[in-house]
Structure 1
Amino acid sequence: MRSSGEVRPWSHLLPRGVRADYNPPVGTLNELLRCSWANHPSRLAIDYYGEQWTYADLYARIAETAVALRARGIGRGDVIALYLPNTNWQPVWFLAVLAAGATVVNLSPLDAPRELAHKIADSGARWVVTANGDGYLSRISALQQRFSGLVSVTCDDAVTTPAAKLPDQTLRYADLIAEHKGAALPDVAVAPEDVALLQYTGGTTGEPKAAILSQRNIAAAVQSYSELFRSEPQFGPDQRVLVYTPLFHIFGLTTSLLRRLSEGASIYLRQRFDASEALDLIHEKRITAFGGVPTMWINLLQQPGLEDKDLSSINYAISGGAPLPVAVAGRVKELMGVNIRGGGGMTETSPVGINIPPMLPPGKDGTVGIPVPGIDVQIVAVDDPRRLLRPGEHGELRVRGPSVTRGYWKRPEETRAAFIDGWLMTGDIGYMDEDGYFYIVDRKKDMIVSSGFNVYPVAIEKAVHEHSAVADVAVIGIPDSYRGEAAKAFVVLREGAAEFSLEELREFLAERLGRHEMPQQLEFRSTLPRTAVGKTSRLELRAQEQERRATISN
C-alpha cells in the first residue's frame, strides 16, 4: 500500500507534458511580467468600469510610478503599504513598488483602525497609498497623527468620490509622477529572494502576522498555475477574466491578477460583487473566466432573468473559501457547461497548493485535487508530525515548494513552530486516496472533540446544507458539560422558508451524520459574519458565542 510520503504519487494525474517536479524557470516577478508588456502592448489589460488600459498603458504607469519612487529615495528595505479597494491602481502600485526594489504590505479596506495601526507599526511602512475618498483619508489621517513621517499618496479612480480636502503629508498621485511622464522602468537589481510582499494572516496571539513572500515565491506561484493549465482552453491571451475577488488578498492578487497578466489576458476588474452586473458582463463581454466564494455563486444563480443570459463563453469557473454545495455546482454545470474548479492553498504558499486537474474522473466528489506542479504535499499524524500516513488515514497536510514562505515577519518563534524538517504545517486536516487525490476535512483549529471523537464542522455544514430550507450554515464547537465540546449550528433560512426545531433538524440529519456529530444547539441568523474575502468567520461566531455565554452567566 502506498503512503502520502511516496514520491509524488499524483504524478500520473497531471496533464501530458506537465511534470510534478516542475521548477519554475523565472526567478522574479519583475522579469516574468516584462514579457507581457513586450508581447501584448496593444491588447486590453484592464477594464475598470469602462476605463480601459492596454498593456502598454499599464507598463507606462508602472514605469512612471517606479521612477518617481526611486526619485524620492524609495528602494530595497523600504516598505510601502497599499490601502486600496479593487481599483486599476492596485496593479500599478504593487508592480511599481517591486520594480523600485521595495516591499509591499497589503492593508484591507475592512481593517479596523487598531488593525491598521498594528500592520503599519509591525511592517515599518514609510508610505501608504490609498484611494482619494473621505473614508480612506480619515483613517490615514489618524495613522499619520500616530506615526510621525508617514507619507500618504492618493489616487483618483472612476468609482470613489474624491475628498474635499487632503490631509497634511499627502501627495496627489498626479503630482508625484508629473516630472516622470514617459519614463522607462528603472534599472534596479532585484534578486529572487528579495522580499516582495508582507501579507498578513491570523496570528496565534490574536494579532495578525505577516507571511514573508519573496519575488521567487510569487513568481513561482504564478508559473505553477500557468504550467498546470497551459494545455487548457482557459489558458492564454485570448481570455477575458471577470474579477471581483479582492486584490489585497493573496488569492485574488496571485491567481486573478498576476497570473492573468503574465498570460496577456484581459481583466474586467470591479470593486464590489453585484450578481446582476456580473451576469450582464458575462453576457455582453463574453467573459471566459469567473471565480468567487460560494455565496457569490449562489447569488448569481438566484438572479431573475438568469435563463435569458448567454453564459456559454465561460470556460473556467472556480470557487474557494468554503465548501460549495453540490447542487450549486450541478446548476453551474447546466448553465455554463463547465465544472466548477476548486483547490486548497494558503497565504503562506502564495497561495498555490492543491488544485483540481483538468480531467476529474467520476467518484471524486469533494476532492480539492492534486498538488500543482512544483509543490509537494504529505499527510502526517496530528500527534506525531514526522509519521507519514497511508491513503484514507486522516492527518495534517504539510507542504513544501518554491512558492512557500520562509517564515513570518519578526516572528521567529511562530516561524519555528510552523516548520518541521523543512515542511510547512498547514493546519488542515485531510487525507489522500489511493489514486493520489487529496481531500480536506477541516481546519485543525476548528475541529471539535466531542466525547473523545474528532468532529469536523465542514462535514456537519455539508449535511445541514442539504435541507431545502437552508440558505447558509456555519458550525462551531461550544462547551458541553457532558461531552466536553458539542456542535452548534448557525442557520440562515432561504427566503420564505419557515424555521424548524433542533429536534426536526436532528431527525433530518439522522441518515447523514453520526450521533457524535449531531448539533446540540441551533440558532437562526439573518446573516453570518464574513471575512474580507467572503469566507464565513467562525472566529467571529466563537467570539459572539463567548460574549453571549458570559452575559448569561453574569
Structure 2
Amino acid sequence: MTKLTEYTSFADAQAHANSAALWELFDGDREALNIANECITRHADGSGRAAVRIAHADGADEILSFDEIAAGAARFAHWLDAQGIAKGDRIAFMLEPSLPFYVCLFGAMQTGAISVPLFTLFGPDALRLRVDDCKPKILVTNAEKAPMAQNVPGLRVVVADQGLLDEIAQYPATYQPQSAADDLAVFQYTSGTTRELPEAVKHSHKALVTLMFAALYGTGIRPGDEFFCPSSPAWGHGLWHGTLAPLALGVSTGTFAGKFDPVRLMQGLQDYGITNMSAAATHYRMMKNSGQSEAFKFAIEKLSFTGEPIDPATLEWIDKTFGVDACSMYGTTEIGVVLVNFPGAEDFIVKPGSLGKAIPGLELQVQRPNGTPTDPGEIGELMLKKRSGWLSTKDRAKIDEDGYFYHCGRADDVIISAGWTMSAVEIENTLLKHDNVKEAAVIGVPDEKRGQVVKAFIIADRAGSDDFVKELQNFTRERLAQHEFPRVIEFVDALPKTPAGKVHRKKLRDMEAERAKAAA
C-alpha cells in the first residue's frame, strides 16, 4: 500500500488523504498508541542518526540522536516510577531545548503521565497561575529558574542538570509504555497575559495522528527533509509542528535555544543544510530587518509560516532570498491547523497573502452575521464545520473566486470609524511597505466625532516628526482609500508581543484605555 508520505501533489492529497491512511504511518493503533514510542523509540536503531539539531544563541551547536533521547527518556520514565508518579499525574518542565528537555518530554509520556511544557520566560505570577491550574507533581527546570519555582507552595522542583542525568543513569535504557490512544499525553497552554490564565488544551496520544494532516500539507514534511522550526516548543507551533510531527515521521528536526537572534538562525539554516523550515511570521521579518541574509547560502526547498499574515515587503524578501513560496499555515491551539498551502505540491498555486485552502476532509466557510456564506471579496467571520454545527474561529476572513481564503484580522481587530469598516492588518501591511517602517501595530481608539479612529504604533529607522506622520498618512491613504489611514501615529522603540512573537494588540488597547482614564 502506498503511504501518504510518498505522495506530494495537491491532487493526490484530495484523492488519498483520510483518517485510515494516516493511521498507516504509525506503529500504534486506535487502541494502543504512545507519542514517545512513535516519535523516538521506534526510530532508535543504534545508528546514531540525528533527531534534533539545536542552534544555541551563544553560537554552540548541539546534535541529539534518536538513540540518545530514547535511552534517556526510558531512564527518566523508570525514575518517575520510582518517585511514585502514577498514570495521569502531571509533570511540568520549564526548559530550553536540550537533552533534559526531550528526555523529560518523552519520558513522562511513556509512563502514562502528562507532559506540561512551560515557557522559559515566565515570571513567578505566570508560573504560579499555570501550576495552580494543572497541579503538577514535579516541575523540572534549570538552576537559574529553580529559586523562583521553589517559592510556589507545594511544588516539588527538580533541577535538570548533569546531576539528574547521572541519577537516572542507573535505570534501564528501555521502557515499555502501556498507554491507550485516548489517554491524555500533553497539556498545552496558549499564550496570554500573566493576569489572564489561558485555558490548557488537553491532548491525547492519538492527537499525533490528526497532527499529520498539518505535517504533510501545512509544513510539507516528507522523509528525507532536513527540517527546522525556531519557535519555542513551549507553544503549539514549536511543539507539535516543529518537534512531534517531524520526529514521528523519522525526520531530523532543528530548533533554537536561548534569546532569538535572526543572524544565528540563518547561520544554523546554512550549517545544517536545512531544506524545509516552518517559522512564525516574526522570524522572517527579523531575518529581513537584520540585513545580513546575503552572507549565507541556503538550501531551502519548502517554507511555511504561521501566527499571523506576513506583510508584502517580507514576502518579497523571502522570494528574493530563498527563491521558494512562503506557504501560510493557519490554525489555533484549540482547533489545530485547518488552512494550508501544500508546500512542495507542484500543482498547487500559492497566492501571496492567502491562507490557502482547507486541509483534506475539512470544510470552512466565511459567513455573514446571519450565518449565510459571503460572496467572494466580502469580509465575514471564518467558521469551521464540526459535527455539532459551525464553530467560530474568532477571525475575520474573505475568499476569492478560486476558493482561496484570506485573513482579515481578529474579530476584535476590525475598526469602525464614522461608519467605515477597516482592517487593522490591512493598514499594518501597507505601513510596512514604507522603506523607513520596521514594525507597525494598528488599533482603534475612541473618538468623540467618529466613534473610533485608527492609531498606529510605529518602529522606524528614522526619527518621528510631524512631517513623517503626514508622510505615513498620505502613504497609506494613497494605497488603500482616502478614509483608510492612521489619524494618530505614535513612534515607539518596541511593541508588546505575545510569547509566540505576535503583536499583542490587546495590550496596546489596554494601555490606551489606561491613558484615557488617567486623562479623564
Matched, 1:183 2:173: yes
Which of 141, 149, 156 aligns to 2:161? It is 156
- For residues 366-396 of structure 1, give each alpha carbon's deviation from its aligned partner in whole angstroms, at most 9, with x where no partner exists: 1111122343322233x33x44444433222
- SS of the aligned residue for 1:533 comes to coil
Which of 12, 15, 18 aligns to 1:16? It is 12
The within-5 A match list for 1:470-485 is 470-485=437-452
Cα distance 1:38–1:175, how it changes in 2: closer, same or farther (>3 A)?
A: closer
Shift of 1:359: 4.3
- For residues 18-75 of structure 1, give each alpha carbon's deviation from its aligned partner in whole angstroms, at most 9, with x where no partner exists: 4486213255434532675256853111233433221111111111112221222223
C-alpha distance in 2 between matches for 1:512 and 1:33: 48
Shift of 1:400: 5.3
Between 204-213 and 248-257, the greater mean CA deviation after superposition: 204-213
Query: CA contact under 8 A between 2:10 and 2:347: conserved in structure 1?
Result: no
Choose between structure 1 and 2 for higher RCO, CA contacts under 8 A separated by at least 6 residues: 1
Matched, 1:197 2:216: no
Partner of 1:487: 454
C-alpha distance in 1 between matches for 2:350 and 2:323: 19
C-alpha distance in 1 between matches for 2:427 and 2:291: 31
Cα distance 1:314–1:142, how it changes in 2: closer, same or farther (>3 A)?
A: same
Which of 274, 281, 284 aligns to 1:294? It is 281
- SS of the aligned residue for 2:316 comes to helix
Letter in 2 for 1:256: G
Partner of 1:139: 148
Letter in 1 for 2:379: H
Partner of 1:324: 310
Query: CA contact under 8 A between 1:428 and 1:444: conserved in structure 2?
Result: yes
C-alpha distance in 1 between matches for 2:108 and 2:434: 49
Cα distance 1:192–1:434, how it changes in 2: closer, same or farther (>3 A)?
A: farther
Query: CA contact under 8 A between 2:39 and 2:250: conserved in structure 1?
Result: no
- For residues 324-365 of structure 1, give each alpha carbon's deviation from its aligned partner in whole angstroms, at most 9, with x where no partner exists: 22232222222222112212111112x322111234766833
Matched, 1:63 2:74: yes
C-alpha distance in 2 between matches for 1:142 and 1:204: 17
Letter in 2 for 1:354: L
C-alpha distance in 1 between matches for 2:275 and 2:418: 49
Partner of 2:494: 527
Query: CA contact under 8 A between 1:442 and 1:458: conserved in structure 2?
Result: yes
Cα distance 1:305–1:506, how it changes in 2: closer, same or farther (>3 A)?
A: closer
Query: CA contact under 8 A between 2:397 and 2:409: conserved in structure 1?
Result: yes
Cα distance 1:244–1:515, how it changes in 2: closer, same or farther (>3 A)?
A: same
- For residues 133-185 of structure 1, give each alpha carbon's deviation from its aligned partner in whole angstroms, at most 9, with x where no partner exists: 2xx11211111xxx22x21222138xxxxxxxxxxxxxx523551431x3312
Cα distance 1:209–1:225, how it changes in 2: closer, same or farther (>3 A)?
A: closer
Cα distance 1:304–1:334, how it changes in 2: closer, same or farther (>3 A)?
A: closer
Which of 215, 238, 242 aligns to 1:226? It is 215
Partner of 2:328: 342
Shift of 1:528: 1.2
Gaps of 5+ in 2: 1-8, 55-59
Which of 393, 399, 403 aligns to 2:378? It is 393
C-alpha distance in 2 between matches for 1:282 and 1:446: 34
Between 182-191 and 333-342, the greater mean CA deviation after superposition: 182-191
Partner of 1:120: 131
Query: CA contact under 8 A between 1:375 and 1:400: conserved in structure 2?
Result: yes
- For residues 167-211 of structure 1, give each alpha carbon's deviation from its aligned partner in whole angstroms, at most 9, with x where no partner exists: xxxxx523551431x331233232325353242344999332222
C-alpha distance in 1 between matches for 2:367 and 2:47: 48
Which of 401, 406, 411 aligns to 1:444? It is 411
Shift of 1:257: 0.8
Query: CA contact under 8 A between 2:139 and 2:156: conserved in structure 1?
Result: yes
Matched, 1:245 2:231: yes
Letter in 1 for 2:131: I
Letter in 2 for 1:393: E
C-alpha distance in 2 between matches for 1:140 and 1:88: 21
Which of 86, 102, 106 aligns to 1:75? It is 86
Matched, 1:537 2:490: no
C-alpha distance in 2 between matches for 1:220 and 1:479: 44
Aligned length, in residue pairs: 494
Letter in 1 for 2:274: I
Query: CA contact under 8 A between 2:309 and 2:328: conserved in structure 1?
Result: no
Over the matched positions of the two proteins, sequence identity in percent amounts to: 26
C-alpha distance in 1 between matches for 2:437 and 2:302: 28
Q: Runs of at least 4 residues of structure 1 off by over 6 A?
A: 360-363, 496-499
- SS of the aligned residue for 1:519 comes to coil
Shift of 1:252: 0.7
Which of 98, 111, 128 aligns to 1:100? It is 111
